[in-house]
Amino acid sequence: MKFIVLILIVFTFNWARAMTFEVIGKNGQVILKQELSVELKQNVGQISVQILNKNKISFEGGEFGLSSLVGLGQDIDVISDTEMKAYGWCFSIDGVISETMPDQTWLKKQNENLLWFYGYAHYKNGDWIGQCLKD
């Protein structure tokens, strides 16, 4: 009985420590969602490249950032002479969009959620008024 309890405790502890890696494309399309344990000494860029390669998901870029993922790359939508949206790949950790590049960002604990999503930076009347916004 004690052995079974010990196994359950170990299994529960390991499961609770898994991070979630998710990639969402245009219109909320889930491209990949996976729970796994990672090396916290690796930066977000290293973790992302490793997971994308392991899952054979095509991308352009590297640890420093992603310029294209599953054929969806950078794009510009010109709305008017004074307004545009510049599209590209962004990431967040536990819902917080990072102000640093992936190769300069680290997870703090195993159970964090790392999300890559296709977002845009909004330019209007000479100012960038938002970055990594979801369409």
Q: Residue 4 falls within a domain, yes or no?
A: no
What is the domain-level CATH number for residue 100? 2.170.130.30
Q: Residue 114 falls within a domain, yes or no?
A: yes
Q: Residue 84 falls within a domain, yes or no?
A: yes
Domain span including residue 105: 18-134
Q: Is 40 left (phi over 0), alpha (psi -120 to 50) or beta?
A: alpha
Q: Residue 32 falls within a domain, yes or no?
A: yes
Digit-coded pLDDT (tens) for 105-135: 999 999 999 999 999 999 999 999 999 998 7
Query: Per-residue pLDDT for 97 more than 50?
Result: yes
Q: Residue 10 falls within a domain, yes or no?
A: no
| Residue 47 · residue 107 · CB < 8 Å | yes
3-class secondary-structure state, position 51: helix
Q: What global pTM score does this model have? A: 0.83
The count of structural domains within the chain is: 1
AA letter at 111: N
Q: Is 65 left (phi over 0), alpha (psi -120 to 50) or beta?
A: left
Digit-coded pLDDT (tens) for 7-25: 444 444 444 569 999 999 9
Q: Residue 8 falls within a domain, yes or no?
A: no
Among 90, 115, 117, residue whose Cα is nearest residue 20:
115
